[in-house]
Structure 1
Amino acid sequence: MKSLKIFILAAVAIVAGLFAACSDDDFKAGPAVSGTQVYFPESIAAEYSIGDEVSEIVIPVMRVVGTEAQTVAVLADDKSGLFSIPASVSFAAGEKKAELLMTFDRTQLEDGTDYPISFLLNDEENTTPYGNSQLAITVTPWPWELLGTGLFREDYLGPLFGAASPEIEVPIHKHKSREGIYMVEDMFGWNYLTEVFGATQAQLSKQWSITPTNIVIDCSDPNAVNLERQWTGITESTNGYGDFLIWSDEPGTLVDGVVTFPKDGMSCGMLGTQKSYYANSNGNFRILLPGAEIVDYSLAVEYDSMRVDGDGVTSAVLTFNYGADVTGIGYVVVPSNISAEERATLAAAIADGSAKDLNKIENLDGSGSVTEKFVLAGSGAHTVVAVANDKNGQPLAADFVAINFFFPGSGGAAAPDCDVQAQLGLPSALVPENAAKYPDQNNLAFSVKGSELQSVRTYLNKTAVIQGAGMTPEQIVTNHGNNISADQLSAANGTGFANIFIELDPDTSYTLIVKATNVYGKSKVVTAECSTAQIDYTGELVIGNYLMQYEVTGESGNTTVKNVLTVVPKEAGNDVDFFVSNLGTKISGISWYAAYDSAASTLTLSGIWKGDENLGSVLGEWIGISETEAVAFISKNPSDDQSKGGDPIVFKVDPATKQLVKLNTNLQVQVGTIEGQSVTNPQLVAIFNADGTTIAPYTKPEAGTSALSAKMQSVGHSAVKVPYRSVADMRLAGRRNLLKSNAVSAGEGLTCPVRTLSVKPERCEPSPKTFGRVATFKLVDSSARLAK
């Protein structure tokens, strides 16, 4: 088992004077601090479950300045009066950590009762606005009963660090009074860490420390298992990651004693970096409660073909694929398309043996497939319902499978074509009753209606993105669309299913792609197009398109780099917040949050993308926006020699005309190829320096180009050109990763702005190679539901 350590050069081939030092006029300091800056650390547990033998709890207290000995007053609020809490905490000279020792008589505490206690560091001169001066905890006498030994399969640190994902034994407890609440004892202890990184505790302790910590999982609703944000007990020191936290982003499930979460449905937080990353990237995170057994009762059925014998008798052929623990299959074929309720009723009849025309497949041993042939005379829609038998021969009626298929019959009848219609329009026109809540500038309503539909898949994006994707509408919706739910499908087969796409860009054309498949297996793809309305804007900042130009001196002469960016208001009535799109180079679908400061005459981009707010600022880092390609925006304040390329992007606004006239930040755009967990073949595709970049309103396309045919060209005459279409494909596929390797600024005219240093990995000092994240794009997701 290996861990991987990758080092990225801090700077490569930067032309002298490219980023010159100057002033710090734009710097705004935070609140001033003084004294020793005492605080409660973030990693303190909020809940303490104490056993019968526990009579004290230690609360850590930290300080920034640790030179002198110091005593700090502590106020405590304990309504029970059963806890003895000191009135102060003392630091020894030279120490930055002290301990507040709280004691109690365990026999006086009631099992299962919560005892809330709060603390306040009562020293304003020595606390800090950047740390917690208050703390609230809950003490609960040990409410747990040991169930036994379970199994925990890791998919947490392993994928982040390129290491192993082992399965380890763990003690598991259940709550004495709360049904479905479980606690995993020391889930992320040394036995876990040594297995992940394949090293001894002694080796790992140079970089890692472990505080025995129990993890609580709420399985009270087996279909919505929740893991609250908790400290794992793991702390990393070498790279400054600090305390590692874990929590679930999406509900998990508890099935037959097995707890799982969706792929990318969990998060890993690092307090040292104040960043979080998606976990469970392989979907392998799993907890087996004591006594749980992993069995494979999977079952699938598909219509294979029609066969005709010498006498003209027609037969249908079905193929059944089954799991390793399935011992038999019972199935019935019905000559019609039956409802979900009828399928469930038939499955129950198959399970109790009362179903008419019941067919049985017996004596199955190990996973595999079996083909069944049976006579069918009439043509038309048919339904097959199948139930698997467990390893004891008992039918699993709750897990039945059912499919529709069309049987041509002796006459060779053709299945009916798919009947589906789609509509996309402004809320004021399509759903006027919702127009006030969802204005035409940022929202589009749509509807889907058909008959005998078995599935419907939808995809919405800007028309320019779809047209430049290099894919057919069917390929796009198949690869990147979302299936509507069973309830929505039922509505589509009736009066129609409707919804609203929210948070769209104003004055922009969007295209809806719908792929529907009917119960006969016939599919159809339809599209609808509509533009959002312009925002009713009365602010002073001049919005619209701006042409940004910069002349680069290369090896074979000068090149003028041009970029047409667009500034639009965020919403009607808001004259401060804006969105900027096509910044630096045209990658459709990316809009940056921007804030206008009239007094300072600036428009500032903090680095946050619309729809990907959870990522925070993406400036200075590689963003993977498809399976194969990544982009990086590197921005530097020319006054800061120590800038790492993640500074806010600032435009100067003319105080008289209220137009963008100058770029106050040096900006570069790079595009690279994702290979495994690395970015290779980086190309500098745009560069705009504060000194020399001109900006002016732009009203018409350049000669010979259009908004859809423009090409991205690498800067530097020997560089490889990157076509616009490949970048459009990146955006279309959805941004999947935030690649942690920082992008590095290039010198003007250089072909390869990023280099990596190949270093043999050290097993005992793992460091992350890539943190996979899933970026959201709120186009096909909507919480608004239209009235039918």
Structure 2
Amino acid sequence: MFLAAFLFVGCNDDENFNPGEPEDPDCYSVYFPTQENIGSKELDPAAPTEMTFTVRRLKSEGAIVVPVAVTSSEEGIFVPSQIEFADGQEETTFSIQFPQAEIGTTYKCEVNIEDKKYASVYGEKATGFAFSVTRVKWNKLTGKGGETKGKWRDDIISTLFNTANPNAEVDVEIYERADKPGYYRMNPFTQDLIRALFNGTAQACTEPNIIIDATNPDAVWIPYQTTGVTLGGDGEIEIASKVNANFSSVSESASLYGTLKDGIITFPATGIMVNFTVSGGWYGANGSGLQRIMLPGAKAYDYTLALTNTEPAAGVVKVGFKFGADVAKVKYAFFNGSMSDALADVRSGEIESGETPSTEITASGTVSASFDDTGVYSVVGNMYNTAGELVGRSFLSFGYVKSGEESQNAVILSVRTELSWEKEALGYTPENSIKAILFGQNIQSGYWGLFKTSDLAGLSTAQLGQVAKSSGDAFTEEELAKINGKESLVPFLVGLNSGTSYTLLVSAFNGYFSKVYAVEQTTAGKEDPMQQKYKFDDVKGEVSKDDLFNTTWNYYAVDAFDENDATNRQYLGKVTFSENADDPNYVKVKGLSSYLASNLDTKDDTFLAKYNGLVSPMPTCHIGMFKTYHVGNMFTYEENPTGINGSQGCLYAGYVDDGILAFVPNPNYVTQGYTFKGIYWGGFGNYDPATGKFTNLAADLVQFDYLMLINPANDPNAVTAAAVARELEVRPANNFVELRGPELIQVLWSEQTGKPVNRATFGGYGMQPDLGVADAVATFSEGSMPQAPGAIVMIGKKVSLK
């Protein structure tokens, strides 16, 4: 709708000032009220090519015919009738016909009353409107067996939220445009889907139709549109494929299109983007690549073959064949050397043609294989359906060791740890760091990580290897080169707690065998809960609102701007919590900015924190003015000393010991390269209360890292001081802001606790050891994994059926 526009300009003594156009005192004030036909409309081709609109006027005396200006996207399409009012009539209707409109084409039309005798120049009523119309036929899809519904499997909401039932699937009716085969319309974002995902309903769910453009089966995409779903204060969820048609910044070659094959639409992982209408900002969805649409009657066939192998033992390698549900038989053959994807296609064709002899099996099982010589071998398996048609192939490369040659092909690796002062200048001491030393021969791959020894108690060698693989880091090519070369790999592992036992886990694979190493090292000094750096798995319990509200907490943190004591927590005052009357899911917190509050104009730094059993401070909260600056908070993280971030859920506070609350980084962000550590308050030149956004960062005010709150009854220092008074030193802003918006990831307590966490934070390389001439390997535990970690599992490359 076109509304009258106003521009208000301040008055001055400019002699060239011209007053605005005056109103006609006899104006009839004709206007267009809000009505259904305004906007984008689709009409069935069988429907009349005419639309009717309502018109009103404020001055009803006299019979009039209102002149209107009609413009359209194509000349000659729209034919309006006259707008006529009888004497005393306040409301009438008129129609616009479009008999020449072709099916499948969208036509746009604008209608305006321009004569000031009929339309008010400065009135608040709309004197114009716009609409578009498309004549289009939608046909409901039906499967060959009479199926009237397809299926929608979600990986959009499931990626961004911790759902009770991730990747839930619901039935949907699907319509196809008659003039545009492959252009589909469906309505998946209903309360039924939300209930299936969350076991509850959405805050709002308008249930709009969703368009999927599969007119090119090899380039399926989702146009930018709303889902109509609102799950929180961030607004409606909007979606769009990550393709050039939606985002000009994405080149056509980098566009992530989906595909339509055998009635099933799939999309590549992270190929769907999500925006929130209130908080703004695009985020990747379809994180697992499981978003799927099945047209009515389509069947998802499981044509997969998982191939695995054991390590060689007594001259035998066992190869496991696990059939997909719809695989009827497999023909396989062994080949010399490793296998690439392209070469596997060639070998698969040779098996199919009979050029290469093969063995046929009709069920999942294990094949024991022996060869004449030690080396690398491969197996290729062709998959067939019940009709005997080739539907895909898989392959696996593995190392084989002839019986009697095990010792000369064993894993050669030395793993040692020590405490060192060599990086004291960087703040790394025997109390907070461990130096690791790894060197060996022919190590092809592996995993490593540093864990608290107590977290690994009672685990077998095989279980330790799984921990290294699942929670540790894979060796990079650079690290493998150092291990196998003259340099050795000598990393400093930093950010550790004093007086604490850690275990360095390494799982190494040389192409034939794997071996697990576990080396324990205790950092120097005495274990001090006050100075430990905690992670999420250190949180032992949630904190009740009664505990929060009924305690005046002693506040400790590392003052990043205190040059005299920038590494240890120091007492910063008192912190209190109180109820938030507007929303019980939030609490009010006061005192976290410490001495900054006494320097504010308001002397009050109260702001909100999310509460769900744990406490999570909110970002970008305006707590007042300091001189001419608007003061707001963001979060700091380990990976970049000058980076500050405006996301939600960066830090969570929970009990790590009796009466001790520690603010720990959200593990979901850690995996994205953001190990959050503290809260930063800066002075900004501008602040918009309507949007809550800060701009023009001008001054660094305070930054507190590794925040901790202690119940005075549990405080070993027995701090009783009420507050910390300190004159605020203003520094020119040295930080850059990442206003990423909320990631909408809430921690699920049951999913995150009880898992060993890799404590290794890389602090640079240390001095190379004098290795001498020694092949000895000293470890506390070692052993061979039952299944080679270097095994390559290739599943289901599908071929067309003809």
TM-score bin, normalised by smaller chain:
0.3 to 0.5
Computing the radius of gyration from Cα coordinates, the structure with the larger value is 2
TM-score by length of 1: 0.46
Normalised by the length of structure 2, the TM-score is 0.45
